[in-house]
Amino acid sequence: MQEVGRRIQIWLCHHLGLTWEEAVALRREYFYRYGTTLGGLIARHNVDVHDYLAFVHDIPVEEYVRPDPALEAMLASIPLRKAIYTNATSEYGWRVLRALGVADHFERVIGIEEVGLRNKPYPDAYERMLARLGARGPECIMVEDSARNLRPAKALGMRTVLVGTEPDEDGDVDFVVGSVLEVGQVVARVLNPKAQSQKPKSRVSTDKVASLADAAALVHDGDTLALGGMTLYRRPVAFVRALLQREQPPRDLTLLCFTAGFESDLLVGAGLVRRVRTCYFGLEAFGLAPMFTQAATAGTLEVVEETEASLAFGLRATLAGVGFMPGRGWLGTAMLKVRPDVQVITDPYTGEEVVAFPAIACDVAVIHALRADRTGNAVLGGNLAVDVELSLVAERVIVTAEEVVERLEGPLDLSGIPVTAVVHTPRGAWPTSCYPLYPVGGEELLRYAESCPGGFEEYLIGLLAQRV
C-alpha cells in the first residue's frame, strides 16, 4: 500500500535525521541488500523494531482498500487451505483482508513477527513460515508479485506464481499471470494437469484493470518513462504520486515527454530521473519548473535537447520499424551542434541534405484519459499531444482514467490493444487540468512554484499526504 511507503519515509526522516532524498536512497540500498527497509534497520541500526512496525502500519486501511467481489469469487473457487505470509505484521494483514472482504477465506496470516523478524527473501524465514503452517514445501503454491521472493519458495519445493510483469530473469517461476484474479485458473491447472490447455508462463487476460500501486510497479530501474498529456493539461499526476510512494521507487529513469511540467518536476526533485528528453520543461504561466531548473543548472541532470520535429520524426521512425526518419527540421539551425548524435545525410533520390532523426522508443508510457474501458480503450479529449504515438512505441502502456466503464461505445482516441493496465484515478491529473471535467489547480501550482526548490521536501511530504 502506498501509504505504508510514505510512513516509512516519515519514520526514517524523523528517527534517523535524514532528508527525504536521503531516506529514499537508504530505502533503495536496504531493499537491494536486505530485501526490505526493516531488514536494513535491524542489521545496521539499533532501533525499536516494534515502534517502527506500529508506526508504518498505523493506517486506516478501509480508507484505501475497498471490498473486492471479483477477488472474493476467485478465492472461493480455490479448494485449498489459504494463508497469507507477509513482511508486514499479522495484525495489519488481517485488517487488509477484512477491508477487502476476503478474510473468511484465510485460516492464518503469518506476519514478520512470527518468523523471528526475518523478512522475505531470507530462506530461513520461509522455513519458519512452513513450520507455522504445519506444511511441507511440495504441498504449497506460493503467489507473489516479486520473482526475488519466489526463489526461496521454489527451492523448498513449492509451485510458484508470479503476478504482474516483473521479468523472471532466471526462468525459475512456474507460472506468470497478469492479474491476481487469474490465480484461480493456475491452481485449477495444477490440481488437474490433464485439463491444462496452455503452457506455464502464458498470459491471457482481456480485463486490464489494476490498482495504482500495481501499475506503478511496472516501472523499473533504468527505464525510459514517457508521460502523456501536454504542459498543464491531462498529466498523469496520480501515477507520479504512486511512483514516489513506492517502498523502493525506480531510479536512473530517462524521462520522455512532448512537454514536461509539474508531474515531471516532482520526479526530478525526488532524484528518480537521470536524463530528460523534451522540447519544453516548465509550468507555463506559473513560471519555471524549479527542480528541473536547479538540477539542469547544477549539471546533475542530463538534458537531451529535443524539438517538436525531432520528437515527431523519432516516434515515426519507431512506428515504421526503422532506425531513423529523414526530415528537414533542423537544417540551418544550431541544434545539430547541440545534438552531435543527429546526423545530416544525403537523400539518395534527390541528392539533397536531410536530417536523420534517430528512432525514439520507451519502456513505459503513462497516459491519463477522460474515460477508459476495462480492456484499455480510451477517450482522451481534445488535445491528444503525442499520446497515441507513445502508446504504440512503448513496451508497457498504462492508462489512468477519470472513469472506467465496462465497454466504451463510439469514437475512441486510444486502442486498448497495446495497453497493459487500466487504473481508475478520479482527479488523477490534478493540479493539472482535465478539460472539461476540472480546470488547472492554479493555487496549488503557485504554491509549488513559490515553495521550491528550497521547500521541496516539505512540499512533497504534504502532497503525498493529500487525498485529492
In this predicted structure, which of 31-45, 83-97, 323-337 has the lowest mean pLDDT? 31-45
> What CATH number does the domain containing 149 carry?
3.40.50.1000
End of a domain among 139, 165, 195? 195
End of a domain among 195, 227, 246? 195
* Number of domains composing the chain: 3
Statement to judge: residues 149 and 227 lie in one domain: no
Q: What is the total residue count of the chain?
A: 468
Q: Containing domain of residue 25, as a range? A: 2-56
Using CA atoms, how far residue 252 sits from 132, 224, 327, 335, 357, in Å, is 40, 9, 31, 26, 24
Statement to judge: residues 96 and 134 lie in one domain: yes
DSSP state of 118: P
The contacts of residue 334 (CB under 8 Å, 6+ apart) are none
Please, are residues 248 and 27 in contact by the beta-carbon 8 Å criterion? Answer: yes
Confidence band for 170, pLDDT divided at 50, 70 and 90: low
Statement to judge: residues 148 and 256 lie in one domain: no
End of a domain among 195, 227, 259? 195
Confidence band for 120, pLDDT divided at 50, 70 and 90: very high
Burial class (CB in 10 A: 0-12, 13-18, 19+), 398: buried
- Is residue 339 a part of any domain in this protein? no
Q: Report the distance separating Cα 239 and Cα 367, nearest Å.
A: 9
* Mean confidence (pLDDT) of the chain: 91
Residue 321, pLDDT above cutoff 90: no
Statement to judge: residues 25 and 75 lie in one domain: no
Tens-digit pLDDT profile for residues 364-381: 999 999 999 999 999 998
> What CATH number does the domain containing 418 carry?
3.40.1080.10
Residue 199, pLDDT above cutoff 50: no
Q: What is the pLDDT of residue 66?
A: 86
In this predicted structure, which of 78-92, 117-131, 182-196 has the lowest mean pLDDT? 182-196
Statement to judge: residues 312 and 377 lie in one domain: yes
Q: What is the pLDDT of residue 204?
A: 39
In 122-223, which ranges are continuous DSSP H helix? 123-133, 147-155, 183-191, 212-216
Q: For residue 226, what are the β-bridge partners?
A: 256, 365
Residue scoring higher pLDDT (411 or 385): 385
Tens-digit pLDDT profile for residues 51-80: 999 999 999 998 888 888 888 888 988 989
Statement to judge: residues 161 and 236 lie in one domain: no
- Is residue 332 a part of any domain in this protein? no
Q: Report the distance separating Cα 282 and Cα 295, nearest Å.
A: 13
Cell of 429: 491529473
- Is residue 436 a part of any domain in this protein? yes
> What CATH number does the domain containing 45 carry?
1.10.150.450
- Is residue 337 a part of any domain in this protein? no
Confidence band for 165, pLDDT divided at 50, 70 and 90: low
Percent of the chain with pLDDT over 70: 95
Q: Report the distance separating Cα 260 and Cα 281, nearest Å.
A: 5
Statement to judge: residues 306 and 446 lie in one domain: yes
Using CA atoms, how far residue 391 sits from 307, 358, 384, 386, 404, in Å, is 20, 18, 12, 9, 18
- Is residue 265 a part of any domain in this protein? yes
Q: What is the pLDDT of residue 196?
A: 43
- Is residue 353 a part of any domain in this protein? no
Statement to judge: residues 182 and 218 lie in one domain: no
Q: What is the pLDDT of residue 361?
A: 92
- Is residue 27 a part of any domain in this protein? yes
Residue 320, pLDDT above cutoff 60: yes
Statement to judge: residues 86 and 212 lie in one domain: no
Cell of 224: 525510459
- Is residue 407 a part of any domain in this protein? yes
DSSP state of 98: H
Statement to judge: residues 8 and 38 lie in one domain: yes
Burial class (CB in 10 A: 0-12, 13-18, 19+), 423: buried
Burial class (CB in 10 A: 0-12, 13-18, 19+), 36: buried
Mean pLDDT of 349-359: 96
Statement to judge: residues 25 and 90 lie in one domain: no
Q: Is 81 helix (H, G, I), strand (E, B) or coil?
A: coil
Cell of 392: 504504440
Q: What is the pLDDT of residue 207?
A: 85
Statement to judge: residues 171 and 104 lie in one domain: yes
- Contacts of 36-42 with C-beta under 8 Å, sequence gap 24+, read 36/87, 36/119, 36/120, 36/247, 37/8, 37/12, 37/247, 38/87, 38/112, 38/117, 38/119, 39/119, 39/122, 42/117
